[in-house]
Amino acid sequence: MAKLYFRYGTVGSAKTLNLLAVAHSYSQQNKRVVVIKPALDDRFGREMVKSRAGLEREADLLVERDSRLDPEKVRGANCVLVDEAQFLSVAVVDQLRQIASEFDIPVICYGLRTDFRTEVFEGARRLFELADEISEVKTTCFFCDSRALFNLKFANGKPTRDGPAIDLGAEEKYLPSCARCYSRHFSTDV
């Protein structure tokens, strides 16, 4: 039976690069891959899945919070890959679970675990509840050599916990941080 996978990491941990490498590997073997991404992520173009390393690929399916995934769009695929899975609704994650189980297609989701306030995203929470296999895509803290756990947001050059949970950006706004450095940025001594 195929599995539902959740591969999570902080900003800058090469999650999308991993997704694109898996897509490339399947394509090199003449296997069909379906790439899905949330429509709200338009940082690199609405349809584009792009890594910070410059690799890119057009998404096959864009999903909204209330999307109903058409089984015919994935039927016969060898693998389904999902970028920015933290932005998915519970209903969409439930449908991905169903695709893995009923169509015997591996579904590999990549995304953040938590937002910049260290709160779990809805899509990530559901994936933690339903995924057969969960693994971390690791990177180091921007400020030291410890393992990054959190996404530190900056506004006007200063760390912040203000703003909506979904606030799209890249290195100009977010940096990977270990727990110690994250806390230090919000202490009164800094």
Write down the CATH number for the domain with range 4-136.
3.40.50.300
Which has the higher per-residue pLDDT, 148 or 41? 148
HEC per residue, the chain: CCCEEEEECCCCCCHHHHHHHHHHHHHHCCCCEEEEEECCCCCCCCCEEECCCCCEEECCEEECCCCCCCHHHHCCCCEEEECCHHHCCHHHHHHHHHHHHHCCCCEEEEECCECCCCCECHHHHHHHHHCCEEEECCCECCCCCCECCEEEEEECCEEECCCCCCCCCCCCCEEEECHHHHHHHHCCCC
Which segment of 8-22, 97-111, 162-176 scores lowest on mean pLDDT? 162-176
Catalytic residue among 58, 84, 122, 171: 84
Per the prediction, the chain carries an average pLDDT of 90
Is 119 marked active-site? no
pLDDT digits (tens, 9 = 90+) for 165-185: 766 555 668 899 999 999 998
Tell me the domain boundaries of the chain.
Answer: 4-136, 150-186
| pLDDT score for 136 | 96
pLDDT at 170: 55
